[in-house]
Structures are given as C-alpha cells and as structure tokens.
Structure 1
Amino acid sequence: MGRSGGGARSTVVVVTWRGRAHLAACLDAVAAQDRPHRMLVVDNASADGSAELLATHPSRPEVLRLPRNLGYAGGMAAALRRVGTPLMAWLNDDAAPETGWLAALEDALDADEGAWAAASVLRTPEGAVQSAGVRLTANGRGADLTAPPAEREVFGFCGGAALLRRDRLRAVGGVPAGFFCYYEDTDTAWRLRLGGGRVVLAPGAEVVHLHGASTRPGSARFHRWNERNRLLMLLRCAPARVAARELARFAALTAVLPLRRLRGAPRPPANFRLGLRLRVLAELAARAPAALLARRPAPSRAEVWARWSR
C-alpha cells in the first residue's frame, strides 16, 4: 500500500537521487510488504527521469520533491516533518526488502517498549551480510556488524534499512540534516540511547542492498563526509574527553602529513590527503558551534560510551 495504506502504523521513507536505474525494484519490494504501510519518496531534485517513474509507478507513492539535493540526511529530515504514523522506516533507494521485512521490524518494536529503533539485516545481491546492526569502535566510529550478534540489542542501525519510533526521534532532535550523507544513522542511534532508548536487531528483517549506487565508497567526497560527520557526531554525542581526543588526533595527523611527503612517502589514500583533511577541519570549525549547541544534557553519556565502545 503506497499512498493510502489503511490501518498503517509505519511510513516507509525512501530517499532517492538519480536513482531511476534501481528505484523501481525498491518500490516494487516495498509495495509487496505484507503489512499495511504508507510510502513516501523524497526526490532530491533528480534529473534522470526518476520523477516520471514515480508518477507512473503502480504503488502510487506520495512524493516530496526537493528543490535541490539535500543528501540522505537532509531528505530524511524533510520527510520526518510529513510522517503522520507512529513508526518511520528509513530505506535506501538501492535496497529491496524481503516481503516480511516491515512485519519483522514492527514486531521487534512491539516486543520491546524500550526499543526506539530496530535494525535490519542488509545483504549483498550474493547473500553476504553487509550489516546486522552497527557497533561503536574505540575511536568513535560506527562499524557494521557483518554477522548477527548473540544479543538482540545492538548499539545502532544502518540507515539503509531501519524502523524508528517517530515521536522518540523527534524528541531527541530529529535527523541531523546538515550531515548530508553518512553517520546520520550512528548519530541518531547515539542520541536515542542518550534519551533513554535502545536499538534492537530484527533478524527476520532482510534487505538486498546494492550499496553505493548513488555515492562511490572510497571516493574523496565519501571520505570527506565520513571524517567530518564522525567528528561532528562526537562533538554532539560523545563524552567531552573522547571528542577532544579524536579531534586532537585528527588535527595532529593532518599536521605531520607534509613532513611525510617531504621524506618521500608514497601518495596516501584519499582520507590521508592533506587537502581533504584541511577541508574537513575548516568545515568542522564552521559547524562546531552548532554541534555543541545540539549537545543536550545526558547523565548516561559516559555510561553509553563505556558499555558500547570497543
């Protein structure tokens, strides 16, 4: 059920940008879900024929067309203002959920009132697990779990396919629209935890995910967004000592890179290139005040870090 979704408790939000090549498969898979739902597609000003595809697709999704590309984070933030159901599903346009995906996610939240988000199992087209939830590393990175954990509870979810309680999401500040792309999911999971909620894995909620169909993992832009948003997330969510330590590490490594080049070191990968890292530092300086203002009092901050960082 797309536009009407009688009796729906969930709105499935699909954010797309130039996704015509894979968007129809995503919409077909959402339409085939065995639970009532609404479907909202956020079109990030695509100019590849996606608008025409959306207008003629049999599922008749509601469409929010943005005047410019706001990225995945910006698209989800725009959608949140329109979602009227108690639950909001996040779904990449290059993901095709199995028929029981939404039911498994809803059941996982129904079984645990303290769970404010449920993570899916994302698989490659060949069947390998891309993500079975997200863990928090010792240096404050979000890393996909590539095997289902022994416990149902996980630190966070992959934003490519997840289900969240709408009101809880709004209460902790919504989606960080300024991230544009990457780490909006880990930042959101962290804020849900700081607000008193948990994240659980729904093992039966399976999705086939192409991964990187709209962006190029490993590209300069990928690394810029990853590095910048990780550090912004730490400023917003982590204990102060952790945020300060990781900022200092990033700046110190950036400072010594010219010396390594002078000594004849080989050309580094994109995330260790001086120009990219200087741009990250400049963007951090501009965005740090807003990130610190978004940092809400949270007595559990140190506890969350101690329990989940590994």
Structure 2
Amino acid sequence: MSALSTVVVVTWRGRDHITACLDALAAQKSPHRMIVVDNASDDGTAELISGYEVVRLPRNRGYAGGLAAVLDLVDTPYVAWLNDDAVPDPSWLSELENALEAEPDAAAATSSILLTDGSTQSVGVALTSDGYGKDVVLAGREVFGFCGGAALLRTSELRAAGGVPAGFFCYYEDTDTAWRLRLAGHRVISVGPARVRHRHGASTRPGSPLFHRWNERNRLLMLLRCAPASVAVRELARFLVITALLPARKDVPNAANFRIGLRLRVLGEVLIRMPVTVVQRLVIGTRSKVTRQRVWRDWAGR
C-alpha cells in the first residue's frame, strides 16, 4: 500500500524528546514517508536520527523555515506537520487522512493536542477580534485554523497558497497558512480522534522575550499579508500607540511583550520587512477566491 502522507518533523536540539516522537511515528497504522529536518542541532540529536531520512540545514531556520525547506521534496498527496516533542497515538495519521478523504473541500485537518497531564491544549485555532490566533479547546467539526504542532494538509493546496512563510521562523506560520487556505476557498476541520501528547515548550519557552518577539512580530506580518487593509493598519497603529504610551503608564503589565525595547525591535523588524510584505500581500490577493473581508467577518471574534 503506497503512502498518502509525508510526515515532516522539524527538530532543534531535540535529543531529550525526539526519540519518543519518532517511535510513535514508527507505530502508526497508516504507511507514510517521514522526513526529519535538523536545524543544525549541536546536542547529539544528529546521532539519534541518523537512521532516518534527514535533511540537515546548515543553520537554525526555525520551525517555519524547516518546513519550507523540504516542501519541494514532498511527493505525497498530504503533508503532515508534527512537533518533535509531540507523541501521536497509533491511529493519529489515519484519522487525519480519513477525515480529509471524506471532506474534499477541506485543505487542512487539525489534531486533538493534549498536554502531558491529559488536559487539552488545542483542537484548532480561532481568530480573535484583534487578529491573534488563539488555541481552541472545544470545537465543532470546522475551525478557523489548524495548530501547526500536529496537522495534515493537502500538499497541492499548500503549494498553491504559497507554501510556508519561512521568514516567520517560529509561531503564526500555521495561522498565516490557514488564512491563505481560507482565502483560496478551502475549509479547515478539527479531527477529535486524531490525538497527540505534546510536551509544550520543549524547544521554545512560552512567555520568554524571544517567544513574545516572534509572536507579536508574526501576528502583525500575518495581518499585513492576509487581513483586510483596515484591520492590518488598525492593529499596527494600535501596537505603535501602546508602545509610545508605555513610559507614561503606571500599570504596565509584568510581561515581556510590554517591554519597550522588545516592542521597538518588533516594530523595526516589521518595518524592514514592509516592502516584501506588501508584495506578498498583492500576490496573496491575486490567488484569492474569497475576499479578506468575508473571511474576517465570518471568523474574527468567534
């Protein structure tokens, strides 16, 4: 039986957890191809994965960059994204494949991602009224977007929508991709029985300055690429105004994303990328079959 899916596992310094992920993939009921992308790990990970199909990058290009680096190598109808600290149930891949086979208008299927204590981390991604992506823990069959830590996409539709935004490095590459798939007229579905256990934050520490830098920057870049112009300009202006007013505030939250230095760096990185982002926005617009306003009206704040 030929494989329907290629599972891409991106790792960086994954020595302490990647073996559990790869063992779980070896136990999958559905035949598949697997590609491990090593982001120049220097902790002994390379030796652990030497028996697999490995693409070793010369430098760390992040999760988004790792996925983008091997998309052209995928020769199966589906491509799965899987975090190296996620351990899927044996039926995980077959559940996702069966769901997409049954719903041809869906271009992506997202998993039930459980934390190590058994609580739910995500069954999909919602779009907030200010343009953030937010994990959903209770959902119907359809969700705005998928969680990139464990999802299955139609390879042809992913390529047609522009692939993976490699420049994001880490975070929001999944929500940006969901935006583009929806603009192309596709649906995203949540598949409850497709379960994985996730050691959240094994590679990047949620709440850290680096996490907030990527999170805030990539949200703004995603909106500038995909959202209605009024929303993108509003959120960029709001970020700028909040940053400017922080020195005068006495009730500044004790969080890294409210540090002036970090916010100025985010603004600088967004402005440097603005010319390329505007071009990307125009290209995404030419591919779209559904208006940005329609997607925003249907999903923002739900």
Could you say which TM-score interval applies, normalised by the shorter chain? over 0.9
Q: What does residue 87 of structure 1 align with?
A: 78
User: Quick check: 2:144–2:188 contact (8 Å CA) kept in 1?
Assistant: yes
User: Quick check: 2:15–2:48 contact (8 Å CA) kept in 1?
Assistant: yes
- In 2, distance between residues paired with 1:253 and 1:188? 28
Alignment of 1:40-79 (within 5 A): 40-55=35-50, 60-79=51-70
Matched, 1:144 2:138: no
Alignment of 1:226-245 (within 5 A): 226-245=215-234
Q: What does residue 3 of structure 1 align with?
A: none
User: Quick check: 2:246–2:252 contact (8 Å CA) kept in 1?
Assistant: no
Of 147, 151, 166 in structure 1, the residue corresponding to residue 155 of structure 2 is: 166
- In 2, distance between residues paired with 1:61 and 1:102? 19
Of 111, 126, 129 in structure 1, the residue corresponding to residue 102 of structure 2 is: 111
Partner SS, residue 88 of structure 1: strand
Cα drift, residue 212 of structure 1: 0.6
- In 2, distance between residues paired with 1:271 and 1:254? 10
Matched, 1:127 2:122: no
Of 169, 188, 191 in structure 1, the residue corresponding to residue 177 of structure 2 is: 188
- In 1, distance between residues paired with 2:65 and 2:8? 12
- In 2, distance between residues paired with 1:110 and 1:86? 11
Letter in structure 2 aligned against 1:70: R
- In 2, distance between residues paired with 1:300 and 1:7? 38
Percent identity between matched residues is: 64
Cα drift, residue 294 of structure 1: 1.0
C-alpha root-mean-square deviation of aligned residues, in Å?
1.1
- In 1, distance between residues paired with 2:279 and 2:208? 31
Matched, 1:38 2:15: no
Q: What does residue 205 of structure 1 align with?
A: 194
Q: Tell me the TM-score normalised to structure 2 length.
A: 0.96
Pairs aligned (count): 296
Of 233, 238, 241 in structure 2, the residue corresponding to residue 252 of structure 1 is: 241
User: Quick check: 2:122–2:136 contact (8 Å CA) kept in 1?
Assistant: yes
Matched, 1:97 2:88: yes
Partner SS, residue 35 of structure 1: coil
Deviations 1:82-139 (A, max 9, x none): 1111100000000000000000000110011100000000001111000000000000
Unaligned runs of 5+ in 2: none
Q: What does residue 281 of structure 1 align with?
A: 267
Letter in structure 2 aligned against 1:53: L
Of 208, 215, 219 in structure 1, the residue corresponding to residue 204 of structure 2 is: 215
Unaligned runs of 5+ in 1: 1-5
- In 1, distance between residues paired with 2:255 and 2:142? 35
Q: 1:252 to 1:208 in 2, by over 3 A?
A: same
Cα drift, residue 266 of structure 1: 5.9
